[in-house]
Every structure is written in structure tokens, then in C-alpha cells.
Structure 1
Amino acid sequence: MLTKRELLHSAAWLAAAGLPCGSAAFAQTARPGIVKAAEIAEAGFIYGLPIVMNYGVMYEYAVDRNSGQFKAPFNQIANEARVFTYKDTAIVTPNSDTPYSFLWMDLRAEPTVLSVPAVDPKRYYSVMLCDGNTYNFGYIGSRATGSEAGVYMVAGPDWKGETPPGVRKVFRSSTQFAVAGYRTQLFNPADMDNVKKVQAGYTAQPLSAYLRQPAPPAAAKIDFPKFDKKLVKTNFFEYLDFALQFAPAQAVDKDIREKLALIGIGPGKSFNFKDLSLKDKLEIAVGMKAGQRKVDEKTKTIGKDVNGWRLASAFGDSAFYNGDWLLRAAAATMGIYGNDAVEAAYPVTKIDADGKPLDCAKANYTITFPAGQQPPVNAFWSVTMYDGKTQFLVKNPLDRYLINSPMLPGMKLDPDGSLTIYIQAKSPGKDKESNWLPAPAGPVYLAMRLYWPKEPPGLSVLPPGDGSWRPPGVKRVGAAGA
């Protein structure tokens, strides 16, 4: 599906295949011209990529019961009493730290009321609210609202009304569909039953049910377009067109939406690739390929380089992006549904301290945190291993996908009090396996996660790239298998 990295890169690959999008209207007289059309398609691809990616995840998680990734229908919470593994492929760079709960919300008929239980202050949890534009429009949880029980409401863009009694805060989605992503800290495998108890306290209900009033008329049934690898290669703008009907234009969207309309893209329009002339197909293909190149380049340069790690603040709400569609597209490509930096910071790398690509078919590596220099957080931190090509978790003999701070009691410190993590495809030896992060025998992608990072003036990763704490570089320590 689209969120697989190789598919993302093939979405604009079209030229050779006779690519996507367009409509019969595009082929008519009021066309913008070949150069302008390509420019608009480029801008439209960048603008639409996160929106189409989000639709793909929503389709697999909440629409297609046979997707293999299905969680639950709209407006029902799906609790995962497990952490993600190499088998989870709907989201790139998935978090394997915290069992997830998901709630995909259809907000067309009425708002949804969310209730959370009291959670032990020692256990971090968060509920990230993300809409179809991939804007993080609100948070509930340890950092944002505290550990006490509470009731909150999520409303769609067209809802009008007063805050209901007992509701602590109303969050407003910019789209008619939105997702609540729950992250509940797991201390160790034996802690899973405790996580289940917390998850059982997460509830969701329509506003009418909360108020004990009659429900409003149900929203119209939707015929969601099927989403798969083959179709996204040829129907990218058709998916965007479909998604935009549930995303009313904001002031910041005005310019790009007007440009897209010039080539027949927008809410209420209908694309049919077969109706396009070869010339039209090529114009759109050229623009999309240019857009993909820009997104790829942005993902490489976003943020700042610190000892080989890229640190950036790449996720946020509509005001955070303020029309920077390229940043939004790059952020989604790097890892859709990432947190705001104040909730979690994400140093990532594909290179070692000398700037050479990480490849565990060729070399072994280490990361060493000096004594007193472990990541400064209010909650916890982790280092997760991904395949460098796909950005998915890696199957390995230990079923270990990360090393995190809750594991520290079972790990070994160096004589000087520092902590060394061994990054290699084969075991570093039984005496070091407690500190081993298994890698694929090939390219590697590493992601740190600093949950609820401490803020200045003390030691801090914030602001990302300019904080006083700097992640240590990944050092090559010998040939693979040595």
C-alpha cells in the first residue's frame, strides 16, 4: 500500500507506465498549458501526498475488513494488547515501544466524546488527535492534560454548539474523518496485563449518547474507493479528489486548491485516467515525478545534522505547517503520524559518525551514551531498528526491535558508567546480548524516540537540532561477522 516506502517512490513513477490522474475537463480548452500543468501537478502531488497516505491507512484500518491490517469500524476503539512487529506494514517506521489503541472517527453526523481513565503518573500515555490533513490538532495524556481521568470531545469542521457539561476540552478537526492514536507505555512483557487495564478505560461514544439524547440523522453511506498498490500508481489524484470532499478548504489552502482546479482536481470532480490523451498523461507524470524528487530531497535535508543524526521539528497542527506543503509531505514520508516535538523528539539516521551509510552486511556498529548523558526525558526513550530500504521493523532471532530505557535494569553498563548498544546482524556474544539491537544484513535505518522530552534550561534535545543534548554518533567497530 502507499505507506510502504517503495510504493511511495513509485507513486510518481508513472511516466513509463502511463501515469495517473486527470479528468476529461483537463483535456478541454481552458487548459493551463503544458509547462503550467506540470507545475500544478508537481505542487498537487506534494500537497496531496500526506492526504492520500492517510486515506490509505484509514482504508486498511477502518474500511477494508480483509486488508490484513483492519482494526475496527469507524467510531469504535481497537486496542492492541501487543507492540508492533515486522508483520505490521501499514505504517512506515512504526513505534514498537507502546501498545497502540486506534479510534478512527467519522465526525459527519455528530462529534465523538472520548473518556480516559486515571493512569498511574509513572506510566506515560498519550492520545494524539490527527485529521485527514495529517495535522496533529490536539493531545490528551500525561504531558498535555495530566494523569487524572477526564472527558474530551472531538468535533468536525462544521459542528456548531456549546461545550457539553462535564467535557474538559473540545478539539476541532479540520476534516470530517480523524484518528485518535493512543500510546500506552509498556514497562516490560510481564506488564501487558496492566496495559490492558488502562486500555479498557479508554471509551468513545457519540455526543448524543453522552448527553442521553436522540441521535441525529445518520451521515450518508460512502462508497470508499478501493486502495492498493496497483491503483495508487494510476489513481493518485483520484484518491486525493475523493479525500478533499471531506476536507473543507482553509484559508491556507486557497491558492493550491485554485491551482488544482485548473487541471480538474477538487471536491466533487471525477477523474478517469482512460479519458486522458497521451500528452495530458505525460504532463501530469512529469509534474508528479518532479514533486516526488522534491519530497525525497526534503526528507534528506529536513532539520539539522547532529553527529550524523537528523533532528527536526516536522509534525504539528495547521498553524505549525502554515502552508509549507513540502515539509508536511516529507514528514509523512519519514513516518506518518509522528508527534509534535514537545510530545516526542525523533533523531533519525542512516549514516555513521563518519557520514558513511549504515550497512550491517558490511560492518558492526555501536552507540555509546556517556554516563549521565542518556536522552533527557520526562517519560522514557528508545532506539529502534528498521530496514534501511523499507523502514519497517526487522525480523530477528530475539524478537527485539528496540532498546529502551525501561530495559536498563537488564542491561550492562561499561566500567565508566556509560551505556553501549551493539548494532549488528549477528550476536555480539552471549555476554553482550542484553545490549544487542539486532539489525538486518543490509542497509539500516535507526530512530530514537524521546517521549515527553525535558525542556530547557536544563539538558534538553529541544529545540530539535539546537538543544543542549546531542545524540552520540553511530561508530563503526569492525567488519560484519567479525
Structure 2
Amino acid sequence: MPETPAGPVPGALLPDSYVRTVGRFAYVWGWPMVSMINRRTALTSVPEPGLRGGVLPNAPLGRVCMLTDYIPAGQRFVACTNQDVLYGFGFGSIDEQPAVFQVPDFGDRFWVAAAWDHRTDSFAQMGKQYGTKPGFYAVVGPHWDGELPEGITGSFRSTTALAAFCPRVFIEDTPEDRAAVMELLPYVTIYPLDQFDGTMKTDDWANVPTFPVPGEVSAGEIRWVDPEHFFDQLPEVLATVPPLPGEESLYQQFRTLLAAAEASPEVKQTLLEVAQEAEQELISPLLRWEFNGPAAGNGWFSPKNNSAFGTDYLTRAAIARSNMFENAPQETKYIFTDTDVDGGQLEGTQGYTVTFAAGDLPPVHGFFSLTLYNEHHFYFENDLGRYSLGTKNPDLVYGDDGSLTIYVGNTRPDGAPESNWLPAPPAAFSLYIRDYWPEQAILDGTWLPPRVERVG
């Protein structure tokens, strides 16, 4: 019996409407993975670990660069960063060369080290919540079949050769804690397996070089996916990211479409138009938080499958567009909103209160924070240099009843403690709660995020 084709027979004439329908779906499906390709290319094009534009850690493949302070407000490489941790970042081609995560003794300090595959799914479990012991942890690609040397403490295997790495180390906003972290930081590093010798290496992260920013920087995130070139890059995704169970026919549909574009200038032009339309009509709206997960209560939204998307292509694309590189839910629960409790768009010309009742702070084993972002999901630069409030801030003022109220707006309300004020731009903004190592009440939705109430 002849094999049943998984898509149109090669050479079949494809109607314009079919090309547009399959092309739009391919754009949403492949957008996060094309973004990964372009981020890898841009952020590894340095000769050694250093800071791109003096603000964002970049490193060659297989390496990582660590920040020694909160990530600066002016960077436009990655949206929705936080100011609770010291970041490291890098990429690996781990079929060719596994990478070694070096883990020092963090004591009681919270830390987590994420690794994402090409689909942006998390595949490694390293951090305080996992009870990870000091040592050396290898991350390997799906086709790497070598033997790990003696002295490697544990290993994790990715389903794709391309992987992104991001160690995060919690730091309180005090001089004392900054000094304490600096003792640990040189030992937090990632390097290729062929550099492993069983000894703890150190890197002087406070004195890394600065590299120029390629191209222009705008108010929004760097454009990591260019519609004009999307369908030229999609073949690399199909060739290097193996299909999930059940995706085989999907891959064949996309390959048939690309083959038709190769053979017909008219089909190729249609796909170019599809990409431009899909970017505006399907991808751009995903910056709104209401498309990034189900309702979490009181006007907030929260994903339930971040970094474990499976075939949830919509949420994967939404998070890649709005908030790339989220930790897995059990590591960090992300809760966000563009509106107040009554559904009105948050605007800095208005004032708002965010009140956690006594005993109702986010139940976490790690820490929590409330961060404010402008309309592009970056920090609003202000005279206080304040972009979030939470566990890291020991000077927050609590009410007589034990409640905590954070005041949000472009100006501080009369009588409000300055320590509890989160400055906002005189324009649209959003709010974002991070709960690191959340307790079950956050994971199952028993705990509700606070009401964001307009004042006056």
C-alpha cells in the first residue's frame, strides 16, 4: 500500500488562500525559534565574555558572562528583566561541545540556573529549591555521545543542539549584601567541557570588556525576528529542531510550502506578505499580558506552562514576544497586568495602590517582587533609580495592621512613604509580580494577587 502523503504532493499547485493560511500558522509556530537563532548569532559574536554596550552580558558559544549589579535600565536586548538578581547569560551549541555549569556553595542565598532548548522549553533543574549541591553540572545535546569525565556532579540533556543559559543569584538592595555576593560571584561561571579539569575556576566579572552595540537602539526591544527574512530562516529551524510527537505532518506541510516558494516567485512574494501581515496582526498584539496566560484573579494574568509549552504554540509565541526566557513555574511564578482591578489601562498620570493584606504577601520559599514596566516592557528611568519593590527592600513601611501598600504613579502621593513609591511614566505601563520558588497556594491559584486600585 503506498505511503500516505503528509501534505500536498510536491509540485502540486497551491492556491493563494492555502499559502496564506499555512504561512500564517508557520509564522506563529516558528517565531520563537527564529528569535532564538538571531539572539544566538548576535549575542555570541564576541571574542570573550563581556558587556554589549556596557550593559548586557554577552559571551562566545559555550560561555557565560555575569553581571556584578542589577541589569541597567537602558538596555533594550531583553524585555522584562528584573532587578532582584545578578544575571548571567550565554548560549551553547551542545551537540558539538557540552557546557559545564560551575556551582559554588551559595549557603542560604537563593539562586537558580536555567537552561532552555531551541523551543524555549526549560530542561535543567539547578538551584536552591532543587537542593543542588556545589559542583560541576554538564548540559549536553541530543546527539552528543561522549563520556563525561570523572568529577562531573550531574548532567542534563537538551532535546536540541542550541541552548540558552541563565544563572540568577538573588541580591538584597543593601551595601552589605552586595559585598557578600561579590565573594561568591567569581565562581559562578559556565564554560565548554574541554576546559573542565575538576577545579573551581574563577572569572573577574567586575573587569570584563565592553563591546559596541550593533545597529540602532529604539524605545522597544531589539527586533529579533525580521518578517522579510523569516521564511528564509525557517528551514534551519526545521532541520535542527526535531518534531515533537505528532508534529511530523506539520513539518511536512511547512517543507512543502517552502519548496513551492523556492519554485515560484509568486508564492515567495505571498509568503513575504504573509510574514509582514502576521507580525502586525498576530505577533504584535501578544505584547499585551492578557494573551500570556489565563486570568489569575483581580485583573492579573499568569501562564501555567511557561518553559514547558509542548504544542501550545500561542503561549510560546506570546512569551517569546513579551517576556522571553521565563523560568519554569515551580521555579518562578510570573503574574502580570496592564490594567487596574476595574479593567482600566494603567496610566502614570493616575495614582494607584497595590495593597497586600496582613499575612497575605506572596507565599514563597524564595522571594517576591513587584516590577513596573513602560509600554515596551522596559524600565521607566527615574531619579530614584527604582524599578521594583519587594523582598530585596528592607526599608518598606508596613501599616499598623501589618499590611503592605505600594504606591504607583508618576508622582508620589502626599503622605506616602518614599520607600513604598514605585515611579511610573506619564503614559501607559504594566505591573509584574515575580514569585521565586512559589508555594503551592500560588501554583494552584489559591492565593490571589492584590487589587490594583486607582486613587482619586
TM-score (norm 2): 0.83
Which residue matches 2:451? 473
Aligned pair in 2 of structure 1 residues 141, 426: CA closer, same or farther (>3 Å)?
same
The alpha-carbon deviation at position 199 of structure 1 amounts to 2.2
Which residue matches 1:187? 172
* More divergent stretch after superposition (109-118 vs 63-72): 63-72
Distance 1:152 1:356 in 2: 47
Name the SS of the counterpart of 1:235 in structure 2.
Answer: helix
1:330 aligns with 2:312: no
Distance 2:195 2:345 in 1: 55
Partner residue of 1:247 out of 241, 250, 269: 241
Aligned pair in 2 of structure 1 residues 271, 101: CA closer, same or farther (>3 Å)?
farther
Partner residue of 1:442 out of 414, 421, 427: 427
Which residue matches 1:392? 378
2:346/2:430 contact within 8 Å kept: yes
2:398/2:404 contact within 8 Å kept: yes
Aligned pair in 2 of structure 1 residues 310, 303: CA closer, same or farther (>3 Å)?
same
1:37/1:284 contact within 8 Å kept: no
Q: How does 1:202-221 map to 2 (within 5 A)?
A: 202-210=188-196
Which residue matches 2:183? 197
1:232 aligns with 2:218: no
**How high is the sequence identity, in percent, across the aligned residues?**
27
Distance 2:23 2:392 in 1: 47
Which residue matches 2:337? 349
Q: How does 1:367-446 map to 2 (within 5 A)?
A: 367-387=354-374, 389-407=375-393, 409-429=394-414, 432-446=417-431
Aligned pair in 2 of structure 1 residues 297, 394: CA closer, same or farther (>3 Å)?
closer
The alpha-carbon deviation at position 283 of structure 1 amounts to 5.2
Partner residue of 1:292 out of 280, 283, 292: 283
Distance 1:251 1:244 in 2: 14
1:92/1:391 contact within 8 Å kept: yes
Aligned pair in 2 of structure 1 residues 288, 424: CA closer, same or farther (>3 Å)?
closer
Q: Which amino acid aligns with 2:447?
A: W
TM-score (norm 1): 0.79
CA deviations over 1:290-310 (Å, ceiling 9, x no partner): 643785689536212401111
Q: How does 1:3-402 map to 2 (within 5 A)?
A: 29-63=11-45, 68=53, 69=56, 71-121=58-108, 123-146=109-132, 148-162=133-147, 164-190=149-175, 191-210=177-196, 229=223, 232-264=226-258, 278-279=269-270, 281-282=272-273, 285=276, 291-292=282-283, 295=286, 299-300=290-291, 302-317=293-308, 321-361=309-349, 363-387=350-374, 389-402=375-388
CA deviations over 1:271-314 (Å, ceiling 9, x no partner): 79988665554455556656437856895362124011112213
Q: Any unmatched runs of 5+ in structure 1?
A: 1-25, 213-225
Which residue matches 1:15? none
Q: Which amino acid aligns with 2:242?
A: P
Q: Which amino acid aligns with 2:107?
A: D
Distance 1:71 1:356 in 2: 39
Aligned pair in 2 of structure 1 residues 67, 118: CA closer, same or farther (>3 Å)?
closer
Distance 1:303 1:250 in 2: 24
Distance 2:72 2:276 in 1: 35
Distance 2:52 2:172 in 1: 31
Distance 2:278 2:372 in 1: 34
The alpha-carbon deviation at position 246 of structure 1 amounts to 3.4
Distance 1:139 1:347 in 2: 22
The alpha-carbon deviation at position 112 of structure 1 amounts to 1.7
Distance 1:180 1:130 in 2: 7
2:68/2:182 contact within 8 Å kept: yes
Q: Any unmatched runs of 5+ in structure 2?
A: 1-7, 199-214, 217-221
Distance 1:275 1:375 in 2: 55
Name the SS of the counterpart of 2:124 in structure 1.
Answer: strand
2:142/2:160 contact within 8 Å kept: yes
Distance 1:211 1:301 in 2: 43
Aligned pair in 2 of structure 1 residues 401, 301: CA closer, same or farther (>3 Å)?
closer
The alpha-carbon deviation at position 338 of structure 1 amounts to 0.6
1:298/1:327 contact within 8 Å kept: no
Q: How many residues align?
A: 422
Name the Cα RMSD after superposition. 3.1
Q: Which amino acid aligns with 2:307?
A: G
Name the SS of the counterpart of 2:138 in structure 1.
Answer: strand
Distance 1:280 1:364 in 2: 46
Distance 1:185 1:141 in 2: 11
The alpha-carbon deviation at position 424 of structure 1 amounts to 0.7
Name the SS of the counterpart of 1:182 in structure 2.
Answer: strand
CA deviations over 1:387-425 (Å, ceiling 9, x no partner): 0x2011110110001001131x31211121111100011
Structure showing greater relative contact order (alpha-carbon pairs closer than 8 Å, 6 or more residues apart): 1
Distance 1:95 1:271 in 2: 43
The alpha-carbon deviation at position 322 of structure 1 amounts to 2.5
